[in-house]
Structure 1
Amino acid sequence: MYDDILVPTDGSPAADAAVEHAVTLADRFDATVHALYVVDATAYSAIEAGTDVVAEALETEGEDAVARIAEAADDADLPVIESVISGTAYRSILEYADEHGIDMIVMGTHGRRGLDRYLLGSVTERVVRSANQPVLTVRHEGDDADAE
């Protein structure tokens, strides 16, 4: 039923909370886990000086985030594909899912907080509304029900 499961991450605790669910599903269906981090440097485009430094820091953060997912998949003896790409977060997630034959997307309900969320909208919400695949959303236990 599910051969390829995508776990987009932004490195936040909410994104990490989705990993356990994704690995459990992948184990149940003998699926490949796809760990994806999108470097969305456009969110920081107002910073003219040092944009390359910001993008490089985000890429390093992304490599660490997908490595945590890969470790969880490896611990469960599951195949894993790690990807760090650049683009607009929700669009890149949707494009990756379509281009790689993803059967399910598993992601946290909260990620970045504060001004980013209010200015850019919720990445998870946009993915849920637009994905061609089922999307399982996982609430981080540290989130308040009123936070949405």
Structure 2
Amino acid sequence: MFDQILFPTDGSDGAEFALEHVLDLAVRHDATVHILNVAETTQNGLLQIRGDDVDVLEQEGERAVREVAERAHGRGVDTVAEVVRGEPYCEIVDYAETHGLDLVVMPTHGRRGLERFRLGSTSERVVRRAR
């Protein structure tokens, strides 16, 4: 039923919780999991970061996808991992459409505290934009 599953991760506790569901689905359906981290480099994201900090975001993203891939491989799940720059909800939907993925699994909350309310819900934006 699901051959290709997209798991966008920001390395948060919410993503950690969702990962277990993703891996269960992947094992059950013998699916490949696409692990995606989006380093937010849009205007909203750049208000918080300066200069070389974009590189730091990408390094954190690489660490997050590597950790997910290691856990997936430990369960016998094949993975594809990528870190991209941009607006998270746009990049997630574009990646899913470009790669013809069957399912996107992501937590409802990743960021914490006031930052979450300022940025809005990435999950909600993905649902509204997805086809």
Superposition TM-score tier, normalisation by shorter sequence: over 0.9
Q: Determine the C-alpha separation between the residues in 2 that align with 1:44 and 1:76.
A: 34
1:8 is matched with which residue? 8
Q: Could you tell me whether the CA contact under 8 Å between 1:109 and 1:124 is conserved in 2?
A: yes
Q: Could you tell me whether the CA contact under 8 Å between 1:44 and 1:51 is conserved in 2?
A: no
2:36 is matched with which residue? 36
1:100 is matched with which residue? 99
Q: How do 1:56-75 residues align onto structure 2 when only pairs under 5 Å count? A: 56-75=55-74
Q: Determine the C-alpha separation between the residues in 2 that align with 1:46 and 1:67.
A: 27
Q: Could you tell me whether the CA contact under 8 Å between 1:32 and 1:79 is conserved in 2?
A: yes
Percent identical pairs in the alignment equals: 48
1:123 is matched with which residue? 122
One-letter amino acid matched to 1:99: T
One-letter amino acid matched to 1:45: L
CA displacement, residues 55-101 of structure 1 (integer Å, 9 cap, x when unaligned): 11111110111111101210111110010000100000000000011
Q: Would you say 1:46 and 2:24 are equivalent positions?
A: no
Q: Determine the C-alpha separation between the residues in 2 that align with 1:18 and 1:26.
A: 12
Q: Determine the C-alpha separation between the residues in 1 that align with 2:101 and 2:78.
A: 14
Q: How do 1:136-147 residues align onto structure 2 when only pairs under 5 Å count? A: none
Q: Determine the C-alpha separation between the residues in 2 that align with 1:6 and 1:90.
A: 13
Tell me the TM-score normalized by structure 1.
0.82
Indicate the RMSD between aligned Cα atoms, in angstroms.
1.4
Unmatched runs of 5 consecutive residues or more in structure 1: 133-148
SS of match in other structure, 2:11:
coil
One-letter amino acid matched to 1:62: G
Tell me the TM-score normalized by structure 2.
0.92
Post-superposition offset of 1:2: 0.5
